[in-house]
Amino acid sequence: MFKVEGINDLQTLANVVDGKLLSSNESFSGITVDSREVSDGAVYIGLQGESFDGNLFCDDAINNGCIAVITNDDQLLGRNILVEDTYDALLKIANYHHKQINPMTIAITGSNGKTTVKEMIGRILDEEKTVITNKNENNEFGIPYTILRCTPNTKTLILECGARHDGDFKKITESFTFDQLIITNINNSHVGKFGSIDNIIRTKLELIGAVKESGIVIEAAFKDLSVNRDLNTDSLSINLYITNDSKELDLKRTWPYLVESDPDQDRKYSITLGADKNGLKIIHETAIEHNCINAVITSLALEQIGNDISESMKRLSGFENPLKNRFHIHEVVNYLIIDDTYNANPTSMQSAMKNINDWNDERGRIVILGDMYDLGNHSSGEHKKVINYALGMKKLRKLILVGDKFKNEIKEFSELEREKIILIQNRVDDFPLLELTRDSSTKSKGVVHRYFKSDGGIILIKGSRAMKMERFTESITQYLY
C-alpha cells in the first residue's frame, strides 16, 4: 500500500484524479493496486493493461478492507471514484505525491546498463534517504509505483525507465519532472517491438522533455545531442548537457575515456577519463568490462550533486549487482558458472562473450545461449553474428544453443564449425538435468556430460527473459555439486 502525501480524504483524491466521487466523503489510509492485499481503509485502483483488467477484482479489494475503488467502469456498484482512465489516475496521484515530497530526481534510460547504474547510485547515496526502482520494475507502471514509495524522509529518487514500444514514455514525460536524465547507450534491443532504431532513439529521448530547466542530461550514446541525434560509433566519450527554457540541450562538457584490461589480472581494469595528460587515472575491479563505463557514468552523475568522482569510483570498485542474474559468478568446485540470464540482446551477448574470452584463465569455455527476442527483421542476422562470434572464441570447448531462432541459423555454418555446437531444440523441457546426468559413454551429439566434471571450465549462460535460462544455472550448479 502506498501512502499519498497531502491527500487524506476521498473528495480530495477525486479532485486530484479529475474523477467523480460516487459516495459520501471520508478519510482513507492509502492507495493499493493489488486486490489481494489486505488494506484496511485503502483505495484500490483498477488498473488495466494488455493482459489484465483490474476492474474485475474490485469486489475482492473491498472484501480485503478497501473502502473505495478508482474505476472507469460506470456500471460498477458501490463506493467508487469514476475516472476516464485508471492509469491516468495513477499518474496523477504519483505526480501529486512527487511534488509534495520534491526529491532530487535522477531518471535513467538506455538499451543496456540501466539497472546496474541504478544499483550503483543506490550504493553510494544514503540508503535511508534514497528510493530506487525495485529490481526491474521499470515500465509504465513501475515508474509511478517507485515514486509512490517516497516518504517525507526521501531526499533522492532514482528512477529506472524502460520501454518496449514506441511512445512508451509520452505520458511519463507529461506527468513528472527530473533533475537529471542519464542515457547509458542505444542499440537494437527490442527493435522488433519498436520497429526501427530511429523509434528507439525517439522514445528514449522523449524523456528529455521531463528534465527541468537548467537540469542535466548525461549520455554515452550520441556524438552531440545539441546538434543532432547521430549515434557515436567512432569513439568512447560521455557528454553532459544543460537544458534551457526551450527544452533544448547545451553541451557543456565531454569526457573521452579509455578502458584497458590488466594484462596480469582478470577482472581488473585501468580507466583513463579525459583526453589530456592530466586525465584522471582509475584502477577498477569488476566482473565485466562494460561495468567500467557504468561506474564512470554513475560517478559523473553523482559529481553533479556534490560527490567526489574519485571517491565514488573507489567505492564502486568490486561492485556486484545485488540482482544475481546479471553476470553473477558462482564458483563451484573448479568451475566458474556465470549467470547472465536476466535478459539478452546482440550487444550484451557479445559483451559477455568478449569478457570471458579476454580473461587469461586457462580453463575451457562452455557457452550456453538462448534465443534473443524482439529483434524483428534483424533476428536472423543477429543470431548468426552471435554464433559466429562464439565460434571465434579462444578456448571454446562447446557452444550450446537453445531455441528455434538459433536452430534456423546453424545450417549456414560448416561441418567443422558445427562440431563445436550442441543444439537444444526444446527450450521448455528438462534438458539440463537429463542431459548432464546421462551416461558419458553414450555416443550422441546431445550428450554434454563429458564437458563437465573434467578439468574445470568457465560456463556462460545467457538468453532472453522468455527463454528462462536460469534453469541451466540451477541444473548445472546442482550437478557439479
Domain boundary among 84, 110, 128: 84
Give the CB-side neighbour count of residue 476, counting CA atoms within 13 A: 29
Task: Kindly state whether residues 347 and 311 are assigned to the same domain.
Answer: no
Q: What is the pLDDT of residue 311?
A: 96
In a domain, residue 2? The reply is: no
Co-location of 118 and 70 in the same domain? no
In a domain, 90, yes or no: no
Domain co-membership, 310 together with 356: no
- Residue 290 and residue 208 share a domain: yes
Give the amino acid at 112. Answer: N
Q: Which of 108, 99, 90, 80 is nearest to 144 (CA)?
A: 90
Round to whole Å and give the CA distance between 101 and 129.
12
Which helix or strand (DSSP H or E) is residue 268 part of?
A: strand 268-273
CATH classification of the domain holding 75? 3.40.1390.10
Task: Note whether 196 and 163 are same-domain residues.
Answer: yes
Cα(183)–Cα(194) distance, integer angstroms: 18
Q: Are 211 and 180 in contact (CB under 8 A)?
A: yes
At 443 the pLDDT is 42
Specify whether 125 is located in the same domain as 193. yes
333, 312: one domain: no
pLDDT digits (tens, 9 = 90+) for 380-434: 999 999 999 999 999 998 899 999 999 999 988 999 999 899 888 654 454 444 4
Contact between 399 and 419 under an 8 Å Cβ cutoff? The reply is no
Which cell goes with 206? Answer: 522523449
311: alpha, beta or left, given left = phi > 0 and alpha = psi -120 to 50?
A: alpha
Both 372 and 450 in one domain: the answer is yes
State residue 79's pLDDT score: 87
Residue 3 lies in a domain: no
* Residue whose cell numbers read 579476454: 358
Q: Quick check: is 93 in a domain?
A: no
- C-alpha angle 220-226-230 in degrees, rounded to nearest 5: 60
Query: Do 340 and 432 share a domain, yes or no?
Result: yes
Instruction: For residue 112, give every residue at least 6 positions away whose Cβ sits within 8 Å of its Cβ, in sequence order, or none.
Output: 184, 185, 187, 189, 290, 345, 347, 348, 351
Report the pLDDT value the prediction gives residue 12, as an integer from 0 to 100: 98
Q: Which residues contact 266 (CB under 8 A, 6 or more apart)?
A: 359, 360, 361
Please indicate, yes or no, if residue 96 is contained in any of the structural domains: no
- Do residues 338 and 461 lie in contact, with contact meaning Cβ atoms separated by under 8 Å? yes
Instruction: Write the burial class of residue 414 (CB in 10 Å: 0-12 exposed, 13-18 middle, 19+ buried).
Output: exposed
Would residue 253 count as lying in a domain?
yes
Same domain, 408 and 444: yes
CATH number at residue 415: 3.90.190.20
Count: domains in the chain: 3
Which pLDDT value is given to residue 476? 82
CATH code of the domain covering residue 211? 3.40.1190.10
Q: Measured between alpha carbons, how far is 217 from 235 in angstroms, rounded to an integer?
A: 19
Same domain, 352 and 210: no
User: What range does the domain containing 217 cover?
Assistant: 102-316
> How high is the pLDDT of residue 107?
98
Last residue of a domain, one of 316, 349, 372: 316
Residues of the chain with pLDDT under 50: 427-428, 430-449
pLDDT of 458-472, one tens digit each?
A: 999 999 999 999 988
Q: Indicate the residue among 281, 316, 351 that finishes a domain.
A: 316
Q: What's the DSSP call for residue 9?
A: B
User: Does residue 73 belong to any structural domain of this protein?
Assistant: yes
Q: Which residue has the cell 481503509?
A: 41
Predicted confidence at residue 426, as pLDDT, reads 59
C-alpha cell at 281: 587515472
- What pLDDT sits at residue 451? 59
Angstrom distance (rounded) from CA 364 to CA 189: 29
Q: Would residue 95 count as lying in a domain? A: no
Residues 28 and 144 in one domain: no
Residue 327: φ, ψ to 5°: 50, 45
Distance between CA atoms of residues 309 and 322, nearest Å: 22
